[in-house]
Structure 1
Amino acid sequence: MIPYGRQTISEADIQAVVEVLRSDFLTQGPAVPAFESAVANYCGAQYACAVNSATSALHIACLALGVGKGDSVWTSPITFVASANCVLYCGADVDFVDIDPRTYNISVECLAAKLAQAEKTGNLPKVVIPVHLSGQSCDMEAIHRLSQQYGFNIIEDASHAIGAQYRGQSVGNCRYSDITVFSFHPVKIITTGEGGMALTNDAGLARRMQLLRSHGITRETSEMTHDADGSWYYQQIALGFNYRLTDFQAALGLSQMQRLDEFVATRHALAKRYDDLLSHLPVAIPWQHSDSYSALHLYVIRLRLNAINKTHSELFELLRAEGVGVNLHYIPVYWQPYYQEMGFKIGYCPEAERYYGEAISLPIYPGLTETQQNQVVLALRKAVTV
């Protein structure tokens, strides 16, 4: 089976991990800050906080911005559930904004209309979480303008988008947001096995997230309520979590960072080849905004079902039967039973639901060969024409 995504591990990556395993520090050592510095420098952000998953990064980002009971946070319905769950962890309410029909990211027009209505009823969000689906940046300048008008904070869920650019600058520089979050799951652009990172240009937010990732404990005397009892002393000054990233995971990430641009360039070459090979099939290929250079974590096509004599599900299963591990990113979050119990109904975000009824993610990752890509296209051509 050709998977939709797969990690690319080199001998240099393996050696970097082995060196840490042979060192004195498997966790809370020098590899984590080195990895944080590498990502922050690459993106042009001032601070980075590595954690054990992007979900954890989203959680502490919300907490650092003071999200809590009585607050509302808005995000896209076309995302993994973590983008919304992080809000519920904080005791706040989550809501969804429909997507743009071309980028599949949060629609600025829908967001503006929803904000105008919310202002009238006194229900403006505390935070908006735009999701850079497939690695293509949302229209962050426009969202930032709305944040200044309506007074909300912004967390960029860039789990798909390390190595991407928006208007010629690296996603993650936080020019248009308070915090940006990356994921390092094995199917993402670079990997630490499991892992994530939150970037910010705000020293206070950075320190708050650093505390929250490690039990809320400090050894900094300036943060303590009284003088330390001795060199062993620490204080818990917040209710934190064990969200730390290990040093051997960080070593893998640091090694992978050296090939980040290469990985993204390879994905672009594969996407261009898909674009050409699929041009005569009844499918819509991914649309790329001129302001964005996508990391291309996903290559999502939409089936023109009115020109195909099969259902969405039938095509999906035919491709799987041919050894092509297609996937679907994503089911609208509010369709999940847990969210349905909150009162969300089918029809809430019509464009997201249309997308869900037609989308299929084709395999794309740096190790995908031309032979395998030809197999994917052949299987798709067979499925849509037979």
Structure 2
Amino acid sequence: MIPYARQEIGQDDIDAVDRVLRSDWITQGPLIPKFEKAVAARCGAEHGVAVSSATAALHLVFSALNLGKGDRLWTSPNTFVATANSALYCGAEVDFVDIDPATLNMSVEALAFKLIRAEREGRLPKVVVPVHFGGCSCDMKAIHSLSKQYDFRVVEDAAHAIGGRYCGGEIGSCSYSDATVFSFHPVKMITTGEGGMVVTNNSDLAERINLHRSHGITRDESKMHGDSDGAWYYEQLELGFNYRLTDFQAALGLSQLSRLDQFLAKRLALANRYQSLLKDLPLTSQSIPSCNSSAWHLFVIKLSNTASRREVFDRLRDAGIGVNVHYIPVHLQPFYRAQGFKPGDYPEAERYYSAAITLPLYPALKESEQDYVVRQLVSILGEEK
């Protein structure tokens, strides 16, 4: 089976992890801050905080922004459920903004229209979370401008997008947001096994996220409420969580980060090759605006004949091609329907979902395997004529 995605682990990665496993530190050690600084430097951000997953990162950012009961967070319905769930963990209400049918990202026009209505009703969001679907940045300049007009915070869900660029800068520079969240799951551009990171230019936000990732505990005497009883002493200042990354995960992340550009170049070459090979078929792919350079986490096609999606999907799977679908719109999940959402609420996201198939794309994908995927698609779609 050709998977839709997979990690690429080399001997350097194995050696990096092995060195940590043979050292004195395997949980909280010196490689975690080194990894944080390296990712932040790559993005052009001032601070990085490594955590156990991108879900944990989202939860920590929302908590650090004091998102809570009575607040509202808006995001895209075309995302994994974690983006919305993390707001519910904080006790906030969740709502969605429909997508642009070309970029598959949050529609700025839909956001602007929804904000006008929300202001009239006194229900403006406290936080808006644009999701950089497939590795392509949302229109962050426009979203940032709206955030100033309507006074909301912006958190970029860039789980798909480390290494991508927007208007000349790295995704994660936080030039147009309060913070950016990355994922290091095995199918992403680089991996730590499981893991994530928050990058930000706000030192107070970074300090609070850092505190919350480890139970709200500090050993810094300058932050304690009383005098220290000794070298063993610590104080819990706030209610936090156990969202720490390990040192051997950080070692893997650092090793992988050194090859990020290599991974990105291969993904771009394969994506361009798909676009060339598929240009005459009855389908479209994600539109990447000219000011963007996508990280190409996913290569998604939209079939012109939506009625055939299930058949095309099943036949590709039967042919040994591990296609997938990203994503089932969050508001259509039973849990969210129980919150009052229903089919028809976000028609562009639903229309996209009904036609979408994710094709294999990862650095180790061979051109011969890609050719096989295309031949199978040509054969299947040709039979439908």
Q: So what's the TM-score if we normalise by structure 2?
A: 0.99
Find the counterpart in structure 1 of residue 323 from structure 2: 326
Find the counterpart in structure 1 of residue 281 from structure 2: 281
SS for the counterpart of 2:3 is coil
Find the counterpart in structure 2 of residue 234 from structure 1: 234
Find the counterpart in structure 2 of residue 125 from structure 1: 125
SS for the counterpart of 2:322 is coil
Deviation (angstroms), 1:285: 2.3
1:357-368 alignment to 2 at 5 Å?
A: 357-368=354-365
Find the counterpart in structure 2 of residue 312 from structure 1: 309
Deviation (angstroms), 1:286: 2.4
Matched, 1:345 2:342: yes
1:244-259 alignment to 2 at 5 Å?
A: 244-259=244-259
Identity %: 61
Deviation (angstroms), 1:381: 0.9
Matched, 1:178 2:203: no
Matched, 1:205 2:202: no
SS for the counterpart of 2:263 is helix
**What CA distance in whole angstroms lies between the structure 1 residues aligned with 2:335 and 2:286?**
30
1:294-309 alignment to 2 at 5 Å?
A: 294-305=294-305
**What CA distance in whole angstroms lies between the structure 2 residues aligned with 1:212 and 1:333?**
27
For residues 228-268 of structure 1, give each alpha carbon's deviation from its aligned partner in whole angstroms, at most 9, with x where no partner exists.
11111100001111100000010000000001011011100
SS for the counterpart of 1:355 is helix
**What CA distance in whole angstroms lies between the structure 1 residues aligned with 2:209 and 2:377?**
45
Find the counterpart in structure 2 of residue 261 from structure 1: 261
SS for the counterpart of 2:102 is coil
Q: So what's the TM-score if we normalise by structure 1?
A: 0.98
**What CA distance in whole angstroms lies between the structure 2 residues aligned with 1:294 and 1:235?**
44
**What CA distance in whole angstroms lies between the structure 2 residues aligned with 1:363 and 1:11?**
24
Find the counterpart in structure 1 of residue 20 from structure 2: 20
**What CA distance in whole angstroms lies between the structure 1 residues aligned with 2:81 and 2:123?**
23
2:382 counterpart letter in structure 1:
T
SS for the counterpart of 2:56 is helix
Contact 2:129 2:157 in 1 (8 A): yes
Contact 2:104 2:286 in 1 (8 A): no
1:376 counterpart letter in structure 2:
V
Find the counterpart in structure 2 of residue 50 from structure 1: 50
Aligned residues between the structures: 383
Matched, 1:377 2:371: no
1:64-213 alignment to 2 at 5 Å?
A: 64-213=64-213
**What CA distance in whole angstroms lies between the structure 1 residues aligned with 2:313 and 2:155?**
33
SS for the counterpart of 2:143 is helix
2:284 counterpart letter in structure 1:
A
SS for the counterpart of 1:357 is helix
Deviation (angstroms), 1:369: 0.1
Runs of 4+ in 1 over 3 A off after TM superposition: none
Contact 2:45 2:172 in 1 (8 A): yes
2:50 counterpart letter in structure 1:
A
2:195 counterpart letter in structure 1:
G
Deviation (angstroms), 1:287: 1.3
**What CA distance in whole angstroms lies between the structure 2 residues aligned with 1:144 and 1:63?**
21
2:367 counterpart letter in structure 1:
E
